[in-house]
């Protein structure tokens, strides 16, 4: 008598189905998080003037186009003449060309549109090398920061923001993770972190630009207006078209808004301006330390570290008698400071003597 296989219980079958569906869902999520989500976002990219594209029609080599979209947003396409290409996705352009070619030219045209070169993306704020960088599909926040030579010492990676051009205008995206995708024309901003004192008060550290600081100014799509300049003793910088612009005592955000307003007054319609401190002015150590002089500033520097860089105290130093004059103090008044306090650019630190 031929035996029969035992039947699986209904509960067991249901459990197996749930496990199977769980695997499918997990695998789908993994695909999305490993690059497929970025590809899906990129398919929604809308072409703009200056983009380099290639259009091919299967079995119709004479209908190939390779070049840039003109400033007027069009391309010269064989048989059809000037075709509007800006403001639509590559898929939408394929569909438009398919329809127009089928209307009296080609029976069943198989049209493919490929973007050869995307516009760059921007990184500014607390990175070592801010600016515009070439976009490559698969770009993430971490890769974008690596292209900018990494985070600066005072960067706050927990509050990175991303400004993205959507169909309805610019949109601020936050919070942003290191694995999140970057798209063409994205603007990635890495803010300054907060000092311990200010973090306790819940306010953001806001550095004010001063004479001697080297700042980088970038104007989107206007390379001739982008400069890397040192702030003069009078607190200004020379900018193309604008001449001398005073930026001393302004935060980077305030300087951006000032320059933007000046550019709007007769030059550009809606400029996007980015200002970042590329190099801070020096601070000075004197008094009872072994090596007096000026030292390059680094964010996060404490008085204790500054004294160590100056090779330490002399034997007559009063470790409780340390004074500082802040560069932005109009009265240039010496104030007491402790070893754990933070040093600011332009500070003059004086270690007093004690003979008792």
Domain boundaries along the sequence of the chain:
52-117, 121-279, 283-353
3-state secondary structure 185-224: CCEEEECECCCHHHHHHCCCCCCCCCCCCEEEEEECCCHH
H helix runs in the chain, sequence order: 10-31, 37-43, 90-102, 141-147, 196-201, 252-264, 303-309
Instruction: Determine contact, residues 47/55, Cβ cutoff 8 Å.
Output: no
Architecture of domain 52-117: 2-Layer Sandwich (3.30)
Amino acid 19: pLDDT: 46
User: Quick one: 283-353 is in which CATH superfamily?
Assistant: Outer membrane lipoprotein wza domain like (3.10.560.10)
CATH of 121-279, one of 3.30.365.10, 3.40.50.720, 3.40.190.10, 3.30.1950.10: 3.30.1950.10
Running DSSP on this structure, what letter comes out for residue 314? -
Instruction: Determine contact, residues 210/248, Cβ cutoff 8 Å.
Output: yes
Radius of gyration in angstroms for the set of CA atoms belonging to the chain, rounded to a whole number = 29
Cβ neighbours of residue 304 closer than 8 Å, sequence gap 6 or more: 339, 340
β-sheet bridge partners, residue 229:
215
Distance CA 54, CA 305 (A): 57
Residues found in the chain: 356
Amino acid 55: pLDDT: 96
Identical topology for domains 52-117 and 121-279: yes
Distance CA 9, CA 126 (A): 61
Amino acid 192: pLDDT: 66
Closest CA relative to residue 278, chosen from 327, 229, 321, 314: 229
Distance from chain centroid for Cα 16: 47
Amino acid 206: pLDDT: 65
Amino acid 31: pLDDT: 40
Distance CA 275, CA 219 (A): 9
Cβ neighbours of residue 318 closer than 8 Å, sequence gap 6 or more: 288, 351, 352, 353, 354
Instruction: Determine contact, residues 164/183, Cβ cutoff 8 Å.
Output: yes
Instruction: Determine contact, residues 66/54, Cβ cutoff 8 Å.
Output: yes
Averaged pLDDT in 10-residue chunks for the chain of 356 residues: 40 48 43 51 85 94 94 92 92 94 89 92 85 90 93 79 79 86 90 48 58 86 84 91 90 90 86 84 92 85 91 92 86 90 91 83
β-sheet bridge partners, residue 74:
84
Which residue is it, tokens 């993205």? 164
Q: Percentages helix, strand, coil for the chain, rounded to the nearest 5?
A: 25, 30, 45
Running DSSP on this structure, what letter comes out for residue 78? T
Amino acid 171: pLDDT: 81
Instruction: Determine contact, residues 288/313, Cβ cutoff 8 Å.
Output: yes
Which residue is it, tokens 């029609």? 57
Instruction: Determine contact, residues 88/46, Cβ cutoff 8 Å.
Output: yes
Residue 87 Ramachandran class (φ > 0 left, ψ -120 to 50 alpha, else beta)? left
Tell me how far apart the terminal alpha carbons of the chain are, to the nearest angstrom.
110
* 49-78 CB burial, b ≥16 within 10 A, e <16: eebebebbbeebeebebeeebeeebebebe
The whole-model pTM stands at 0.49
């Amino acid at each position: 008598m031929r035996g029969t296989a035992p039947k699986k219980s209904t509960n067991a079958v249901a459990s197996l189905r749930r496990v199977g569906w769980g695997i499918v869902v997990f695998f789908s999520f993994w695909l999305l998080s490993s690059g497929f989500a970025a590809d899906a976002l990129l398919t929604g990219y809308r072409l703009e003037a200056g983009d380099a594209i290639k259009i091919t029609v299967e079995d119709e080599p004479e209908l190939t186009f390779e070049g840039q979209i003109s400033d007027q947003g069009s391309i010269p396409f064989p048989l059809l003449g000037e075709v509007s290409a800006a403001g639509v996705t590559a898929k939408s352009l394929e569909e438009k060309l398919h329809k127009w070619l089928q209307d009296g030219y080609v029976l069943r045209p198989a049209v493919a549109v490929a973007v050869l070169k995307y516009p760059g993306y921007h990184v500014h704020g607390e990175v070592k090398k801010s600016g515009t960088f070439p976009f490559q599909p698969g770009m993430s926040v971490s890769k974008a920061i690596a292209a900018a030579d990494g985070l600066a010492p005072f960067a706050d990676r927990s509050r990175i923001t991303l400004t993205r051009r959507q169909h309805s205008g610019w949109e601020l995206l936050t919070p942003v993770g290191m694995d999140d995708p970057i798209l063409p024309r994205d603007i990635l901003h890495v803010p300054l972190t907060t000092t311990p004192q200010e973090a306790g008060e819940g306010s953001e550290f806001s550095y004010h630009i001063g004479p001697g600081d080297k700042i980088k100014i970038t104007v989107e799509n206007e390379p001739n207006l982008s400069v890397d300049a040192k702030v003069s003793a009078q607190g200004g910088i020379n900018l193309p078209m604008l001449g001398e612009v005073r930026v001393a005592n302004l935060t980077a955000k305030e300087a951006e808004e000032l320059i933007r307003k000046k550019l709007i007054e007769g030059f550009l319609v809606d400029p996007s301006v980015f200002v970042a401190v590329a190099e801070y002015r020096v601070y000075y150590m004197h008094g009872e330390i072994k090596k007096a002089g000026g030292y390059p500033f680094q964010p996060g520097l404490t008085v204790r570290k500054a004294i160590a860089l100056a090779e330490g105290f002399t034997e007559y130093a009063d470790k409780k008698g340390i004074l500082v004059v802040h560069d932005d103090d109009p009265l240039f008044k010496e104030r007491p400071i402790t070893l754990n306090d933070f040093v600011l650019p332009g500070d003059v630190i004086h270690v007093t003597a004690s003979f008792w």
